């Protein structure tokens, strides 16, 4: 409880002091510790505990982006687990992406940025397919998360998702908050309209085997349905916590 108390004390400081860089860094670190403390009992003894502690797994996030503020990038920079890579694929030329967004993307060398020659305008599915091919060619990542540039993954997302994997698990998903449901918490399940790909982490070989095969409105669900077909529901675990916000 000391982390929460310290965080509250620092947050009560006047703005000119609490918003100063060293104080912000300390507040964030305390917030991260508190998140991990409150979720410690989800999996008391993770199978990959030492690997997670040493951050040996690489997590690759795939995201389309179209002239939007890269909230996703900020949420990943806040992760307690640091071994990740983000593949942003801009749907067409990024001429209208604002300077703040460009600066955020350029500020972290874990972020790759690709622009397509023309805009597909197909709910971000063509950019996702391009990202899948990039992963295949480069052979990067132990786990894949397909998400969107305006989504938010809470700071403990990567760590808590990884803790739910064992040798038999191919994918893990969590509960989420979704703007389609008036920002209420959604208890996800493996059914159409009850899950989003952003709350699913998948072993790379399984994700690549499933592929991204549908460019229609229902493409996100088709990806999850293809994952189920590849590995079966018995190989998919659920995290009983809300770690993802669909914006």
Question: pLDDT, tens digit, for every residue of 184-206?
Answer: 999 999 999 999 999 999 999 99
Given a cut of 90, whether residue 114 has pLDDT beyond it is yes
Q: Which residues pair with 59 in a beta bridge?
A: 84, 143
What is the rounded average pLDDT of the residues 88-98? 95
pLDDT class for 24, splitting at 50, 70, 90?
confident
3-state class of 144 per DSSP? Answer: strand
Are 17 and 79 in the same domain? no
Are 93 and 12 in the same domain? no
Are 218 and 122 in the same domain? yes
Structure tokens given for 139: 């052979």
Are 126 and 19 in the same domain? no
Distance CA 113, CA 123 (A): 18
User: What's the domain count of the chain?
Assistant: 2
pLDDT class for 36, splitting at 50, 70, 90?
confident
Given a cut of 80, whether residue 1 has pLDDT beyond it is no
pLDDT at 191: 96
Domain that includes residue 10, residue range: 1-38
Q: What CA–CA distances, in Å, run from 118 to 89, 95, 106, 121, 188?
A: 12, 12, 22, 9, 35
Distance CA 86, CA 62 (A): 6
Q: What is the CATH number of the domain that holds 130?
A: 3.90.550.10
Are 175 and 101 in the same domain? yes
Are 91 and 177 in the same domain? yes
Are 22 and 73 in the same domain? no
Are 26 and 74 in the same domain? no
pLDDT class for 51, splitting at 50, 70, 90?
very high
Are 47 and 28 in the same domain? no
How high does pLDDT run on average in the chain?
94
pLDDT at 103: 97
Distance CA 247, CA 215 (A): 20
pLDDT at 96: 92
Pairing of strands 236-246, 200-203: unpaired
Are 148 and 43 in the same domain? yes
Are 127 and 32 in the same domain? no
Distance of CA 226 to the CA centre of its chain: 20
Given a cut of 80, whether residue 159 has pLDDT beyond it is yes
63-91 per-position pLDDT tens digit = 999 999 999 999 999 999 999 999 999 99
pTM (predicted TM-score): 0.91
Q: Does residue 245 contact residue 177 with C-beta atoms inside 8 Å?
A: yes
Give 3-state DSSP helix, strand, coil % of the chain, rounded to 5. Answer: 45, 20, 35
Are 81 and 123 in the same domain? yes
Q: Does residue 153 contact residue 147 with C-beta atoms inside 8 Å?
A: yes
The angle that helices 2-11 and 21-38 make with each other, rounded to 10 degrees, is 150
Q: Does residue 83 contact residue 56 with C-beta atoms inside 8 Å?
A: yes
Distance CA 60, CA 122 (A): 22
pLDDT class for 25, splitting at 50, 70, 90?
confident
């Amino acid at each position: 409880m000391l982390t929460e108390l310290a965080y509250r004390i620092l947050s009560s400081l006047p703005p000119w002091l609490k918003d100063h860089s060293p104080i912000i860094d300390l507040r964030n670190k305390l917030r991260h510790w508190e998140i991990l403390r409150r979720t410690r009992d989800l999996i008391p003894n993770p199978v990959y505990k030492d690997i997670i502690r040493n951050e040996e797994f690489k997590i690759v996030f795939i995201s389309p982006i179209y002239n939007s503020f890269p909230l996703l990038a900020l949420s990943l920079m806040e992760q307690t687990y640091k071994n990740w890579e983000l593949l942003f694929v801009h749907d067409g030329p990024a001429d209208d992406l604002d300077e703040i967004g460009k600066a955020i993307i350029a500020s972290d060398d874990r972020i790759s940025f690709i622009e397509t020659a023309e805009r597909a305008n197909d709910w971000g599915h063509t950019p996702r397919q391009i990202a899948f091919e990039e992963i295949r060619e480069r052979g990067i990542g132990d786990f894949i998360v397909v998400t969107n540039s305006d989504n938010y993954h809470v700071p403990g997302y990567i760590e808590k998702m990884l803790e739910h994997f064992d040798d038999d698990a191919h994918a893990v998903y969590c509960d989420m908050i979704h703007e389609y449901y008036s920002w209420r918490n959604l208890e996800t399940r493996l059914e159409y309209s009850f899950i989003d790909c952003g709350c699913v982490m998948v072993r790379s070989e399984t994700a690549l085997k499933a592929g991204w095969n549908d460019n229609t409105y229902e493409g996100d669900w088709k990806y999850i349905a293809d994952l189920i077909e590849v590995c079966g529901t018995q190989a998919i675990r659920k995290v009983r916590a809300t770690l993802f916000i669909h914006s």
